[in-house]
Structure 1
Amino acid sequence: MSIGNSPEDDRPSIEDDGPSIGRALQQARIASGLTVDEVSSTTRVRIPIVHAIEQDDFSRCGGDVYARGHIRTFAQAVGLDPAPLVAQYDDDHGGRPVPTPAAPLFEAERIRADPRRPNWTAAMVAAIVVVIGFVGFTAFGGGDKGKPDRAVAEGPSQQKSSAPPRPTPSKPAPPKPPAPSDSAIAAVPADKVTVKITATTDKSWISAKDHNGQMLFDGLLQKGEAQTFQDAQKVDLILGNAGAIELYVNGKKIENKFEDGQVERLSYTKGDPQVG
């Protein structure tokens, strides 16, 4: 380095008769204190390709386009101006291909109609359309004049539509269950206690045991369902939702006003109903 020169004057430059592209890049890399691995990491060019470029072997770049790109990024990484190197590459490899303008190609393939020659195909199509239109108008328009009511008078579909629809037979309503009568109450055995439970307004959990404590029923009674229990001496009940229950004991209805959600523990024996 001479006194008075700037650091930029010491960077390698490409002269007319200077070193090759690979040699110039290698000298610039060494002058910048960079290794091949560091150049590869900076440019994202694989290490074997970096070595090949420094040896002026561009066959591993994959084509002229990739070679120019690698030269450009390599030069920028080591502080060289890439334009002279890319120009030198083009000179050494036949120069850049000149793009072919697209307009002349399309112009040469364009088919131009001769204005002096009549288009007989279009004329024939137009004539056929006119004939078809005239025939259709005659068949569907003119042929029905003077006979507007014939289809209405003679059409079989009109006769079908005039017939009244047949009534659909209605199903008979199911018979209502008979209410408990005096004879049913009288049929209850006198030597046993009989309890009938019906869930009328809502479901309710029911538990029923005989006089020995044996379980007769323990479960959920859905709305509309009923259960009947008998024992020789006593029936113990637990009603989980007493307000939803209708209760008959020994054929007689229990008129106690239980509330919805109320839990009741009841016991009944032979004879008149008695709440235990």
Structure 2
Amino acid sequence: MSIGNSPEDERPFEGASEDTPEEARPSIGDALRHARIAAGMTVDDISNATRVRIAIVQAIEADDFAPCGGDVYARGHIRTLARAVELDPAPLLEQYDAQRGGRPEPTPAAPLFEAERIRPERRGPNWTAAMVAAIVAVIGFVGFTMVKGDGDSGGSEASVAEGSQPSASRSASAKPEKPADTKPEPSDSAIAAVPQDKVTVQVSATDGRSWISAKDHNGRSLFDGVLDQGDSKTFQDNEKVNLVLGDAGAIQLHVNGKKIEDDFQPGAVERLTYTKGDPQVG
């Protein structure tokens, strides 16, 4: 039994039928609360079963959807809580949409290849431009040396000097090719120089807007807010990073330099913990 419930609250909830007038129907919060009580579950039980924060569960049961962070997240929480208490979420979602003028339009997902194309441009120097500049400088130096050598007089000494300069020029022109051999190609796993003694988690909102919460191993908050589409956050800790994703389907994760391939569903709320050894697979 949850603390603070009156005996009347403990009676099983009788849901309204489809013919029940709108004004006579219970609110979404009342329906979820009565179903939870009828299932013999407390708010803590629901939070543990669904991974929805206690404060959000209490707010939804009070018909306060502001802490959810938007209609998309509110609908996801309603669906999750209803299923946890074996309540059909469809009527509740229809009631929620009717109160807010219709179902919200889905956020268009950004193509994955577009995000991958942008990332390499943000990292490292432009080696192509550097190579072109080096080659132009070498060609200019060789041309200047040859012109200067043609203007000098002095028989064999001038010939010896002129003969040695092209060799030096050829050596100089060969040197700029070395950086091209050692230049690493950007890849998904090469996000940054990830320290081996820490856990590093990068959270990117690639497919929409999502609320996230990140905490270190002591439970201290690293971030609590909303990432707009295209935004990215990176968190580090000596032992572990705890994450809560409001809309996991909109998020792409890189842990310790490796891309996480989990197939998170749109609107799903996920609680995740990563350590220095993660990811074990993938």
TM interval, shorter chain, is 0.3 to 0.5
- TM-score, normalised with respect to structure 2: 0.34
- TM-score, normalised with respect to structure 1: 0.34
The answer to which structure has the higher helix fraction is: 2
